[in-house]
């Protein structure tokens, strides 16, 4: 009986709810359908204005989120992601002075450099038998008033061996924010070096599309070279240890390292040796001959002082190695090799290419 009464009450409650729903007006029932049928519309603000109300706030929030992601992405790109007109994000690592000097922002500099390099090569590669083809290629990349001969009179010949960006970039004021004079340094097969300033225009700064050279080129002077001073604190070597390790460690190590012989390498590297020390050259160079070794004494030890090495001591060594580069050709290269002393003797911990010149000055006065 109780179950029957509960069922009856439940049924009556459902009927009352249904009656209330049927009592609503047709207009009220149609509102959701009509709203769903009309697409969401956003007002376009006037220049410098902003959207108002909840919808405007929603759009603003979305734009802030997108801007944040964009700034983080630009921070990873570094200098090549910036150029003319707006401040670069802090993540670039550029100072305010550098930004002001180079006017770096979102100009697609890396793509513009590639375009300028292509154009500079066309200008500098000169072949009297390819005059018309060269002019057509230049014309395809330049604006209507640019000299399609790139200043060449058609006489003589020269070839570019390789070219790189010189680091030079200057705004073209006639095309605010959209163009840069870009320096391309080219080395000719004769050994001569030329740095051309190429004015490159970019139509779409976001995509980097729509590039064209918008002016004639000119040659810039080569950067002035410095005269480095003598090193303030000259390194001091342990002459006896240098002699001992030349054949006892370094000769065998470089033989194994040059060929990437893992079994042999394990005999000469320490347990904590770096990946570079364990990897080797995989036969890129052959038949090493260690010609000179300088094992450096710790800082503070002067020439003529005796020094006792103990277990766990580490130091750097400067090592000269004569390699066979192919056939009968040879090349001597230099390495900084970090070594560590253990109870079993000296082992290689790390290796890096190149050694410093502490004498300073110029090779040619």
What's the domain count of the chain? 2
- Domain extent for 293: 239-353
Q: Does pLDDT of 249 surpass 80? A: yes
Q: Quick one: 200 and 113 in the same domain?
A: yes
In order of 171, 174, 194, the CA distances from 167 in angstroms are 13, 22, 14
Q: Quick one: 192 and 265 in the same domain?
A: no
Range in 25-29, 252-256, 277-281 with the lowest mean pLDDT: 25-29
Is residue 47 situated within a structural domain? no
What's the mean pLDDT when you consider all of the chain? 80
Q: How confident is the model at residue 17 (pLDDT cuts 50, 70, 90)?
A: low
Q: Does pLDDT of 179 surpass 50? A: yes
Is residue 26 situated within a structural domain? no
In this prediction, residues 146-158 reach a mean pLDDT of 96
Is residue 24 situated within a structural domain? no
Q: Quick one: 130 and 201 in the same domain?
A: yes
Q: Quick one: 270 and 201 in the same domain?
A: no
Closest CA to 295 of 365, 239, 252: 239
Q: Quick one: 329 and 245 in the same domain?
A: yes
Is residue 259 situated within a structural domain? yes
Is residue 248 situated within a structural domain? yes
DSSP 147-201: -TTTT--S-S-B-EEEEEEEEEEEE-TTSTTTEEEEEEEEEETTS-EEEEEEEEE
Q: How confident is the model at residue 305 (pLDDT cuts 50, 70, 90)?
A: confident
Task: Please say which residue of 220, 252, 282 terminates a domain.
Answer: 220
What's the length of the chain? 365
> Does residue 120 contact residue 186 with C-beta atoms inside 8 Å?
yes
Q: What is the value of pTM for the model shown? A: 0.63
Task: Please say which residue of 162, 193, 220 terminates a domain.
Answer: 220
Q: Quick one: 203 and 247 in the same domain?
A: no
Closest CA to 288 of 253, 340, 314: 253
Q: Give the whole-angstrom CA distance, residue 294 versus residue 248.
A: 14
In the chain, the percentage of residues whose pLDDT exceeds 70 is 71
Q: How confident is the model at residue 48 (pLDDT cuts 50, 70, 90)?
A: very low
Q: Give the whole-angstrom CA distance, residue 335 versus residue 294.
A: 11
Is residue 325 situated within a structural domain? yes
Rg (CA), the chain: 36
Range in 288-292, 323-327, 348-352 with the lowest mean pLDDT: 323-327
Task: Please say which residue of 189, 220, 251 terminates a domain.
Answer: 220
Q: Quick one: 256 and 215 in the same domain?
A: no
- List, in sequence order, the alpha helices (H) in the chain: 2-22, 26-37, 53-77, 96-102, 109-124, 131-141, 239-245, 251-259, 262-265, 275-279
Is residue 29 situated within a structural domain? no
What's the pLDDT score for residue 302?
Answer: 78
Is residue 37 situated within a structural domain? no
Report the alpha-carbon angle 291-294-299, nearest 5.
170
Q: Quick one: 248 and 306 in the same domain?
A: yes
The 10s digit of each residue's pLDDT in 76-134 is 333 333 233 333 332 334 455 554 555 555 899 999 999 999 999 999 999 999 999 99
Q: Quick one: 113 and 215 in the same domain?
A: yes
Q: Quick one: 288 and 186 in the same domain?
A: no
In the chain, the percentage of residues whose pLDDT exceeds 90 is 64
200-232 CB burial, b ≥16 within 10 A, e <16: bbbeebeebeebbbbbebeebeeeeeeeeeeee
What's the pLDDT score for residue 263?
Answer: 93
CATH number where 216 lies: 3.10.450.540
Q: Quick one: 212 and 243 in the same domain?
A: no
Half-sphere exposure of 277 (CA within 13 A, CB side): 22
Q: Quick one: 345 and 276 in the same domain?
A: yes
């Amino acid at each position: 009986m109780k179950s029957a009464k509960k069922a009856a009450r439940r049924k009556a409650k459902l009927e009352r709810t249904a009656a209330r729903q049927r009592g609503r007006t047709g207009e009220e029932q149609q509102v959701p359908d009509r709203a769903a049928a009309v697409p969401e519309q956003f007002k376009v603000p006037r220049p410098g204005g902003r959207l108002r109300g909840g919808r405007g706030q929603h759009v603003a929030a979305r734009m802030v989120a997108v801007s944040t992601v964009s700034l983080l992405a630009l921070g990873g790109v570094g200098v090549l992601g910036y150029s003319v007109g707006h401040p670069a994000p802090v993540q670039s690592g550029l100072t305010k002075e550098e930004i002001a000097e180079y006017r770096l922002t979102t100009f697609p500099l890396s793509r513009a450099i590639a375009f300028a390099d292509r154009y500079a090569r066309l200008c500098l590669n000169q072949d009297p038998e390819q005059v018309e083809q060269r002019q057509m290629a230049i014309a395809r990349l330049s604006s209507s008033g640019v000299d399609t001969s790139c200043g060449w009179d058609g006489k003589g010949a020269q070839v570019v061996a390789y070219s790189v960006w010189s680091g030079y970039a200057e705004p073209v004021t006639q095309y605010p924010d959209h163009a840069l004079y870009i320096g391309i340094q080219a080395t000719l097969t004769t050994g001569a070096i030329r740095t051309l300033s190429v004015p490159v225009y970019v139509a779409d700064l976001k995509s980097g599309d729509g590039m064209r050279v918008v002016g004639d080129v000119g040659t810039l002077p080569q950067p002035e070279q410095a005269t480095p001073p003598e090193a303030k604190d000259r390194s001091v070597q342990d002459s006896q240890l240098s002699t001992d390790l030349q054949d006892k460690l370094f000769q065998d190590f470089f033989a194994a390292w040059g060929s990437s012989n893992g079994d042999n390498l394990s005999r000469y590297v320490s347990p904590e040796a770096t990946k570079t020390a364990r990897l080797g050259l995989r036969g890129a160079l052959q038949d090493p001959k260690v010609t000179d070794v300088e094992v450096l004494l710790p800082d503070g030890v002067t020439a003529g002082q005796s020094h006792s090495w103990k277990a766990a001591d580490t130091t750097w060594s400067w090592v000269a190695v004569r390699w066979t580069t192919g056939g009968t050709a040879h090349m001597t290269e230099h390495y900084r090799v970090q070594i560590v002393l253990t109870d079993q003797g000296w082992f290689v911990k790390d290796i890096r290419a190149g050694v410093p010149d502490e004498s300073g000055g110029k090779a040619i006065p």
